[in-house]
């Protein structure tokens, strides 16, 4: 009997240890502050990568489809819609209680050529309307928020001269938002772009949102992608961006967060998917693992970012990572193919990195350890604030 009780007690302890170990999760750490999401690939949401699916379920309460809802996937030929992958994506999100995002309706990239061929304003508007009504309409009430227009701005804040703008005119953005709102009046609608920390581009997005608001267009949030690196942007620019966008009365989604740790190929800070540079071993220095000093810099950088997000309560609605583990990050192949990058919180095997532990420790502290400083990057060898072992 005694041994039975002992075994039972052991089992109870083991269960509570397991429960405690499984308790700390990103989504719980920031509960009540903002959603924490990840962009998912097909293997993750269709069940073929079960371990990463488990990681997603545990840590995230929002999902974005990395590719399957882009035009080239969902309507590869005129009027021929391929919804099998996106249906699985939405099912996965619903089964796991996620806040499901749709990405993206109108973009110059990953859009088939036929969309723009033989099109004048009215034909292209008709194609856009049909696409948006069909896709948004299919997931009405299920996909809760849409990146309606992606990357419409140049770095200087002017409108990008994309085929959308050339053929339809500047009001293609308004039209896209109108069609999306008609298709699902309950869905949140976002404008999404990169490098909004760059003041000139930020001025452009501020002007764009004001213009949409003045025209009575329904817009819920601006997505700032934050495909950033260890040096750029300075944290002050992140704060400034959140302050200025918040003043417009829209929410802000950190919509595609990752931190590139590899050498930059060019000086520009854009996340233009069209960029493509030749492979060179000098650009791929960490094929045998990330040195501790860089690992610590990454952790410090993530802590500073999350501290900044927490300085804007009620403005930052969601923080979504562009990928789950370093193995599936697009930064292994952009802007140079075949590199080994380390931009996320989970390593290639799905284990939490020092950056994960630092972010989790940060959120336990009542006040942010970071007042604004001008120094966004620590020196190699410094101990990052917020680092340490996870103690649930």
| Residues labelled catalytic | 151, 256
Q: Phi/psi of residue 16, each to 5°?
A: -70, -30
Measured distance CA(247)–CA(241) in Å, rounded: 10
Q: Are 252 and 305 in contact (CB under 8 A)?
A: no
The answer to whether 90 contacts ligand XIL (rule: CB under 6 A) is no
CB 198 to ligand XIL: min, Å? 15
Q: Are 373 and 235 in contact (CB under 8 A)?
A: yes
Cα end-to-end span (Å), the chain: 33
Measured distance CA(337)–CA(44) in Å, rounded: 22
**Pair of tokens at residue 115:** 């969309």
The answer to whether 297 contacts ligand XIL (rule: CB under 6 A) is no
CA distances for 114 relative to 41, 107, 127, 172, angstroms? 25, 14, 10, 18
Q: Are 338 and 332 in contact (CB under 8 A)?
A: yes
The answer to whether 45 contacts ligand XIL (rule: CB under 6 A) is no
Measured distance CA(88)–CA(85) in Å, rounded: 5
The answer to whether 150 contacts ligand XIL (rule: CB under 6 A) is yes
Among 167, 230, 273, 294, binds ligand XIL (CB under 6 A): 273
Binding letters toward ligand XIL, positions 165-204, x by CB under 6 A: ----------------------------------------
Measured distance CA(58)–CA(41) in Å, rounded: 17
The answer to whether 253 contacts ligand XIL (rule: CB under 6 A) is no
The answer to whether 327 contacts ligand XIL (rule: CB under 6 A) is no
Q: Is 70 in a helix, a strand, or coil?
A: coil
Among 42, 188, 239, 256, binds ligand XIL (CB under 6 A): 256
Among 42, 49, 53, 66, binds ligand XIL (CB under 6 A): 66
CB 150 to ligand XIL: min, Å? 5
CB 271 to ligand XIL: min, Å? 5
When the beta carbons of 309 and 330 are compared against ligand XIL, the nearer one is 330
When the beta carbons of 150 and 368 are compared against ligand XIL, the nearer one is 150
Residues that bind ligand XIL (CB under 6 A): 66-67, 150, 225, 256, 271, 273, 330
């Amino acid at each position: 009997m005694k041994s039975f009780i002992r075994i039972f007690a052991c089992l109870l302890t083991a269960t509570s240890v397991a429960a405690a170990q499984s308790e700390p999760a990103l989504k719980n750490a920031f509960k009540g502050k903002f959603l924490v999401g990840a962009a998912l690939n097909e293997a993750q949401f269709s069940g073929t990568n079960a371990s990463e699916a488990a990681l997603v379920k545990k840590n995230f309460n929002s999902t974005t489809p990395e590719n399957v809802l882009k035009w080239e996937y969902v309507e590869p030929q005129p009027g021929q819609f391929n919804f099998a992958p996106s249906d699985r994506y939405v099912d996965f999100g619903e089964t796991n209680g996620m806040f499901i995002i749709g990405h993206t309706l109108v973009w110059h990239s990953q859009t088939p050529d036929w969309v723009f061929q033989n099109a004048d304003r009215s034909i292209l508007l008709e194609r856009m309307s049909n696409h948006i009504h069909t896709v948004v309409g299919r997931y009405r009430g299920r996909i809760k928020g849409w990146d309606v227009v992606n990357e419409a701005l140049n770095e200087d804040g002017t409108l990008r001269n994309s085929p959308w703008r050339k053929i339809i005119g500047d009001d293609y953005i308004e039209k896209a938002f109108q069609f999306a709102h008609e298709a699902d009046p309950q869905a949140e609608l976002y404008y999404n772009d990169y490098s909004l920390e760059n003041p000139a581009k930020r001025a452009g997005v501020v002007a764009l949102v004001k213009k949409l608001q003045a025209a009575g267009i329904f817009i819920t949030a601006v997505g700032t992608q934050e495909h950033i690196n260890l040096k750029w942007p300075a944290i002050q620019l992140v704060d400034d961006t959140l302050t200025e966008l918040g003043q417009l009365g829209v929410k802000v989604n950190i919509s595609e967060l990752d931190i590139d740790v590899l050498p930059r190929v060019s000086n520009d800070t854009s996340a233009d998917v069209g960029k493509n540079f030749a492979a060179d071993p000098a650009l791929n220095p960490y094929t045998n693992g990330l040195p501790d000093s860089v690992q610590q810099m990454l952790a410090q950088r993530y802590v500073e970012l999350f501290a900044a997000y927490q300085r804007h309560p009620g403005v930052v609605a969601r923080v979504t990572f562009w990928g789950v583990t370093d193995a599936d990050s697009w930064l292994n192949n952009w802007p140079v193919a075949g590199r080994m990058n380390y931009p996320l919180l989970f390593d290639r095997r799905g284990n939490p990195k020092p950056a994960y532990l630092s972010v989790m420790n940060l959120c336990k502290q009542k006040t942010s350890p970071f007042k604004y400083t001008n120094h966004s990057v620590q020196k190699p060898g410094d101990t990052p604030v917020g680092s340490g072992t996870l103690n649930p």
